[in-house]
Amino acid sequence: KAGVTQTPRYLIKTRGQQVTLSCSPISGHRSVSWYQQTPGQGLQFLFEYFSETQRNKGNFPGRFSGRQFSNSRSEMNVSTLELGDSALYLCASSTGQGYTFGSGTRLTVV
C-alpha cells in the first residue's frame, strides 16, 4: 500500500513569490491535513480537508490556503512568501486513528 506522497521534495523561492505544494494521501483516506514544521515552533497545524471541504483551520494568515480534489489529492498554496515561511511542510492522511505523514516538502525562501 503506497504511503502519503508529497511533491516536490525541495523548493527554493524568492520573497514575494507564491508556491503550490501537492499531496496524495493513502488510497481510501479522505482526510488530509497539512502541518508546518520549523525548529523554533515545531509542528503546527495548518488546515484539514475532508471530502473536498476545509473542515478545520489553524492559526495561520490568509496567505496560506489549500484545497482538496475529488480524488482526495490536496494542494496547499502560500502567496507573497516571507522569509519566515521557510519550513518543512508535511501532509498527513488519516482514517481517524492517528495520522500517516508524508516525507514533506522543504521550502526555502530567499
For other proteins, the binding residues (CB under 8 A) are 4, 31, 33, 35, 42-46, 48, 56, 58, 90, 92, 94, 96-104
- Using the minimum distance from each CB to other proteins, give the nearer residue, 21 or 104: 104
- Using the minimum distance from each CB to other proteins, give the nearer residue, 12 or 18: 12
Cβ atoms of residues 55 and 68 within 8 Å: no
Which residue in this structure is represented by grid cell 480537508? 49
Query: According to the 3-state scheme, what is the secondary structure of 55-85?
Result: EEECCCCCCEEEEECCCCCEEEEECCCCHHH
Q: How far is the CB of 18 from other proteins (least distance, A)?
A: 23
- Using the minimum distance from each CB to other proteins, give the nearer residue, 35 or 109: 35
**Which residues touch 4 (CB under 8 Å, ≥6 apart)?**
23, 24, 25, 26, 91, 92, 93, 100, 101, 102
Q: How far is the CB of 69 from other proteins (least distance, A)?
A: 20
Q: How far is the CB of 30 from other proteins (least distance, A)?
A: 11
